[in-house]
Amino acid sequence: MPSPDTPASSPAAPASGRPTPPTASPAPMSRGLTFLFAVVGGAAVGNLYWAQPLLDFIARDLHASPAAAGWLVTATQLGYAAGILLLVPLGDARDRRRLIPVLLLCSAVALLGCALAPSFGFLLGAITLLGMTTVSGQLLAPLAGDLADDDHRGSVVGTVVSGILIGILVSRTVSGLIAGAAGWRTLYVVAALAAAVFAALLYRAVPSLAPKTRMSYLSLIASVGRVVRRERTVRWTLVLGATAFAAFTLFWTALTFLLSAPPFGCSVTEIGLFGLAGVAGALAARRAGRLHDRGLSLPVTGIAWALVLGAFVLAAFAGRSVVLVVVVIVVLDVGVQGVNLLNQSRMFAVSDEARSRLNTAFVTSNFLGGALGSAAASVLWAAGGWTAVTAAGLVLSGFGLLVWALGRRGPLVVARRSP
């Protein structure tokens, strides 16, 4: 097991099972390419959340109950977790210049299926397929890690991951604005066109890289489990990530129900605008990647968890105050996204050979946690309203803080700047 002083440039034992021949070092990530990765990643992952502020709107249009509509978010996240597990490992064994645009085109087809859905059941199936295919952002993040140099990897990955997280939040605002003006089906048509445009841009911009490993597909998928079993750092980070994302989706799914009901009574457009407060949190959390490069990953992770806990304490008193809701959104998103950025940077420090597979484990775990969080939000809201939701958030954030406190005492891989 590597010690905490292991530099990011020193990989753990390869997870591929067969070494790959040395290849020429790729050109470093430029600012323009980093920005493009962040924008495309944000747009891709935003597909998972178009429906979240529109649950009541879609339920009325397709004659479904609000509780049933909540499963649209859960189905998308379960589909996404499956796509991460089954497709993202291909990033270590295929040319990503071709793979990523193909997946973007597949997600465009699924988006059109959502737009044309004649029934709630059809939409549920189409949105699950959308979740499975909209995994481009999780191929771009490890690719950015491969193209970045060692001294700036945390910052570059932090920018790309921040773009992905901002996409999650902006998607709610865009969703509310477009659906309020032209209907929810138009939203999915616009998203399909955007996916097709981004596929063309990335095909031109992404450099070709030789595959890192030559393995059969089944061996490639199995190797994800091997690297998780071998590395304590990975297992610890997976627990932290899944817990943080469960708290994140618990809050945002229940917030839609809270803002739709009295005393707020917000429209879908107004609910979407609350996502802008989360963007402020994402921009603040972006600096976490730089702190990782300075060797401060572990203590800053603890601070981020304390913010998540504090956010749910405030949320318990926010059931009637718009101002307090906005404060909670900012604090929660700074905390959760700080945890996420540091977790992902730490994962990429474990092995140069298996970054796509490490990201597979990380994001699959995150979105399984997210699916549980969104499902729990619907159940808890029906059982006890906002009080039950915030109580569950306090339990999750307290558990995350405890796992961090216990795990940081052992030997964990923490990327540090090479001397």
Domain ranges of the chain: 31-407
Q: Which of 68-77, 117-126, 150-159, 235-244 has the lowest mean pLDDT?
A: 150-159
pTM above 0.75?
Answer: no
What distance lies between CA 311 and its chain's CA centroid? Answer: 20
What per-residue confidence (pLDDT) applies to 410? 53
Q: How far apart are the first and last CA of the chain?
A: 21
Give residue for tokens 């730490």.
Answer: 346
Residue bearing the bigger pLDDT, 92 or 248:
248
What is the reported pLDDT for 342?
Answer: 85
| Amino acid identity, position 282 | A
Q: What is the pLDDT of residues 6-22, one digit of tens each?
A: 333 333 444 444 444 44
Q: How far apart are CA 36 and CA 30, in angstroms?
A: 10
Q: Tell me which of 99-103, 201-205, 256-260, 267-271 is least confident.
A: 267-271
Q: Does residue 413 surpass a pLDDT of 50?
A: no
pLDDT score at 28: 63
Q: How many CB atoms lie within 10 A of CB 149?
A: 11
Q: How far apart are CA 184 and CA 127, in angstroms?
A: 13
CA 60 to chain CA mean position, Å: 29
Q: Would you say residue 325 has pLDDT above 70? A: yes
- Write the DSSP string, 44-102: HHHGGGTTGGGHHHHHHHTT--HHHHHHHHHHHHHHHHHHHHHHGGGGGTS-HHHHHHH
The predicted pLDDT at position 170 comes to 81
Q: What is the pLDDT of residue 418?
A: 33
* Per-residue pLDDT at 165: 76
| pLDDT surpasses 70 at 254 | yes
Indicate whether 135 pLDDT > 80: yes
* pLDDT of 78 higher than 60: yes
pLDDT at 278: 75
CA atoms within 13 A on the CB side of 240: 32
Confidence of residue 285 (pLDDT cuts 50, 70, 90): low
User: pLDDT, tens digit, for every residue of 83-129?
Assistant: 988 898 888 888 888 899 999 999 999 999 999 999 898 999 999 99
pLDDT at position 380 over 90: yes
**Residue 412 in 3-state DSSP?**
coil
CA distance 409 to 192: 47
Q: Which of 36-40, 270-274, 315-319, 397-401 has the lowest mean pLDDT?
A: 270-274
DSSP string, 298-358: HHHHHHHHHHHHHHHHHHTT-TT-HHHHHHHHHHHHHHHHHHHHHHHHHHHTT-STTHHHH
Topology adopted by domain 31-407: Growth Hormone; Chain: A; (1.20.1250)
Q: What is the pLDDT of residue 27?
A: 52
Q: Would you state the pLDDT for residue 238?
A: 92
Tell whether omega for the bond before 263 is within 30 degrees of 0, i.e. cis: yes
Cβ 41 vs Cβ 164: under 8 Å? yes
Can you tell me the mean pLDDT for 338-350? 80
Confidence of residue 281 (pLDDT cuts 50, 70, 90): low
Percent of the chain scoring above 70 in pLDDT: 86
d(CA 285, CA 340): 9
Q: What is the percent of the chain where pLDDT is above 90? A: 31
pLDDT at residue 142, rounded to an integer: 82
Residue 1: which pLDDT band, with cuts at 50, 70 and 90? Answer: very low
Radius of gyration of the chain measured on its C-alpha atoms: 20
